[in-house]
Chains A and B, each alone.
Chain A
Amino acid sequence: DQQVKQNSPSLSVQEGRISILNCDYTNSMFDYFLWYKKYPAEGPTFLISISSIKDKNEDGRFTVFLNKSAKHLSLHIVPSQPGDSAVYFCAAQNTGTASKLTFGTGTRLQVTL
């Protein structure tokens, strides 16, 4: 039972353009959502998060949008840079239950020159 889904396994974007990574979830008890970035041979690193009481959170080039009614969130990176090439994991959390994270399967982003 995949409660967090990232349906695009890979995405290629030109440098300077916008990257949009999508994530869908099925568990309505999730109330906190996170994006992690992972380079090869390294552990995931936290990128940005959003609470279910908001519909947008921005941090520099990174913006996360949450549509609760559609159970959908997206990560926008603009402008995309070659250093953004990595695997991006969406994760969700029910903050009322021991803060366990449920991860999606990841989207590999490649930013080309």
Chain B
Amino acid sequence: EAGVAQSPRYKIIEKRQSVAFWCNPISGHATLYWYQQILGQGPKLLIQFQNNGVVDDSQLPKDRFSAERLKGVDSTLKIQPAKLEDSAVYLCASSPPGPYSSTEAFFGQGTRLTVV
């Protein structure tokens, strides 16, 4: 079974530039998550999709971050414009339906973003 695919693995950009990350979840997984992990901290949920609808985006900085999940499969996360404090690993995860869907969340390898 193929895992959660993310690209790119690494990205270095200058502040005020824009960047986009892509995620392909495990086939059949209805729930998709984007997490931000800043160095020395635990992952923080940015947005959660159920199929192509948003379930939770309460911690997404909507003035600069956006995410979409067209057709309920792949997802992209965009930052525009980037700030220095956006330097982090961006993790995508997916899970099948169920009451404890987060328990079975499978994470991708992440995209390490460095903003200089």
By a beta-carbon cutoff of 8 Å, the part of chain A in contact with chain B is 4, 6, 9, 32, 34, 41-46, 49, 89, 91, 93, 95, 98-101, 103-106
CA distance A5 to B45 in the complex (A): 16
A43 and B100 form a contact (CB under 8 A): no
B43 and A99 form a contact (CB under 8 A): no
A103 and B56 form a contact (CB under 8 A): no
| Contact string against A for B residues 1-36, beta-carbon threshold 8 Å, 1 for contact and 0 otherwise | 000100000000000000000000000000000000
A4 and B107 form a contact (CB under 8 A): no
Q: B residues within 8 A CB of A93?
A: 100, 102
Majority secondary structure, B binding face:
loop
CA distance A99 to B40 in the complex (A): 24
B99 and A89 form a contact (CB under 8 A): no
Majority secondary structure, A binding face:
loop
Q: Does B87 contact A (CB under 8 A)?
A: no
By a beta-carbon cutoff of 8 Å, the part of chain B in contact with chain A is 4, 40-45, 48, 55-56, 91, 93, 99-110
B55 and A105 form a contact (CB under 8 A): no
B102 and A43 form a contact (CB under 8 A): no
B45 and A95 form a contact (CB under 8 A): no
Question: A89 touches which one: B43, B48, B55 (CB < 8 A)?
Answer: B43
Q: If A4-B42, A42-B109 touch, does A99 touch B93 (CB 8 Å cutoff)?
A: no
| 18 A-B pairs in the complex with CB atoms less than 8 angstroms apart | A4-B42, A32-B103, A34-B102, A41-B109, A43-B4, A43-B106, A45-B106, A45-B107, A46-B103, A89-B42, A93-B100, A93-B102, A100-B48, A101-B43, A101-B45, A103-B42, A103-B43, A105-B41
Chain B residue nearest to A48 (CB atoms) is B103
CA distance A19 to B100 in the complex (A): 27
